[in-house]
């Protein structure tokens, strides 16, 4: 079971910094802070999948 992209989707994967709009990838859960600017204001890029 080695599909990083699929796993990333399951866990949300990408978080967008609301301060600088940088993309922060996270294996699971919310990153502590933005990698670029250090802001803690992050929002998940991946929304709920349609079914």
Q: Is 33 within 8 Å of 17 (Cβ atoms)?
A: no
- Nearest Cα neighbor of 5 from 29, 30, 25, 33 is 25
Query: Applying CB under 5 A, which of residues 20, 25, 27, 45 lies at the interface with Zn ion?
Result: 20
Query: Applying CB under 5 A, which of residues 19, 26, 31, 46 lies at the interface with Zn ion?
Result: 19
19 vs 5: CA distance, rounded Å:
25
Q: Applying CB under 5 A, does 26 fall inside the site for Zn ion?
A: no
Q: Applying CB under 5 A, does 42 fall inside the site for Zn ion?
A: no
Q: Which positions touch Zn ion (CB under 5 A)?
A: 17, 19-20, 22, 34, 36-37, 39
């Amino acid at each position: 079971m080695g599909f990083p992209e699929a796993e990333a989707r399951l866990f949300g994967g990408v978080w967008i910094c609301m301060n600088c709009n940088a993309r922060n990838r996270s294996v699971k859960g919310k990153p502590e802070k933005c990698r670029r600017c250090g802001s803690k204001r992050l929002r998940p890029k991946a929304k709920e999948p349609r079914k």
